[in-house]
Structures are given as structure tokens and as C-alpha cells.
Amino acid sequence: MISENQKPFSESRLRVRYAETDQMGVVYHANYFVWFEVGRVDLLRQLGFNYKDMESQDGCRIAVADARCRYKSPALYDDQILVRTHIRRVRSSMVQFGYKVLRETDSQLLAEGETTHIVTDADLKVTNMPEKYVQAFRAAVERSRVLQGKE
């Protein structure tokens, strides 16, 4: 059995708020990117660190360089959703996260996407991330491959 901090993905549960929807009760498209961030932050915590510590202790930031979302089915007001987040790729100065947004009641895929982040210092100059993060990210990618039977 894989412990919570060894899972290669995180699962964040949210309930669609009225403020996130349009007049028809359908979630406004930009909110998916907010949910991706919730999933990303949860995954980092699960791996044993967080953005705040990356910035304050290591002077390391991960700036979004590219963000994509493919909408499959609408999320509606009051739906309970699950955001599954995993690390797709990692290099010393780049990390890419993948996301799936599902309606929890019926497991309907609502959206999937990815964000690519460039590692920068406090002056926003591209830099390499500390090795402890690279190792944690690579280990999560490897666990994901093993679980998916790709090894």
C-alpha cells in the first residue's frame, strides 16, 4: 500500500460555488485554472514542501510559462469535484503538472489540462531548482509510471 506522501498524484475535493458560475449555473472557464492551482499546492504539500518554503527558504519560484485546459463536460453549481494532479515532466529548471477534473458523483471527466512552470530566482531569472525538489518531483514521476504499468 502506498502511503499518502508516496502517491504520485494528489486529489483535491472542491464544491462549485455560485460565484464560479455564469447565469446558467455553468462554471466559468477561467476557474479551472484556479482549481489547477489548488491541486498543485496540495501535491507539493503531499510531497513534503510548499510554495512558501520554496520562495522563503530556497529563493526558488515556479512561474507559469504555459497553461492549457481542454473542456469535456460542464461543471455546474454545487457539483462536488475532484482535481487529480500529477507531475508529468521535470528538468532542473522546469516542471510540468497534469490535471484531471472529475465530477465526484459520477466520475465524469469535466476537463483536463497541464501547466508548465519555469524555475526562477527572486529577480525572475531562470535558474535551476534545488536538488531536493528535483529528486522529489522525479520520484513522483517514477511512481506514476510504475502505477500506470509503463515501466
Active site residues: 22
Between the CA of residue 135 and those of 48, 122, 138, what are the distances in Å? 12, 22, 5
Cα 95 to chain center, whole Å? 11
Compute CA 4 distance to the chain's CA centroid, rounded to the nearest angstrom: 16
What angle, 0 to 180 degrees and rounded to 10, lies between the N-to-C axes of helices 51-58 and 31-46?
70
* Cα distance between residue 10 and residue 99, in whole Å: 10
Pick the closest to residue 130 from 62, 64, 65 (CA basis).
Answer: 62
DSSP 8-class letter at 28: P
Instruction: Please give the grid coordinates belonging to residue 108.
Output: 465524469
Q: Is 103 helix (H, G, I), strand (E, B) or coil?
A: strand
